[in-house]
Amino acid sequence: MSDGRGMIAYKPVGLLLGMGAGLLAGALFRQVWRLTGDGDAPNATDEDRHWAEIIAAAALQGAIFAVVRAAVDRGGAVTVRRLTGRWPG
């Protein structure tokens, strides 16, 4: 398979992996936030929450999402290379 066709073939797999990573990151963030003892994570428009709490929650959520997404993307690429002998992308 040529490099162009291999990348096109990987796109649907990458999309599914990305969606799974988002779901996993969201679940992981909720579990980590519960450890703070503050209950549910604050919404940016929650008027009863302070700026620091909202910004901290957003930063934590972003960091968790980025790490999970990178790990899933890398794992998917490694798996494709093992199966096909080519790096996707």
Contact (Cβ atoms closer than 8 angstroms) between residue 6 and residue 17: no
Tens-digit pLDDT string for the chain (89 aa): 455 666 676 788 888 999 999 999 999 999 999 998 878 899 999 999 999 999 999 999 999 999 999 999 899 889 888 888 888 87
> What pLDDT score does 1 carry?
47
> How is the chain split into domains, by residue range?
3-84
- pLDDT confidence of residue 10: 77
How much is the mean pLDDT over the chain? 88
pTM: 0.81
Distance CA 40, CA 30 (A): 7
Distance CA 54, CA 42 (A): 6
Residue 61 CA, chain-centre distance (Å), reads 10
Amino acid letter for position 11: K
Q: Which amino acid is at 53?
A: E
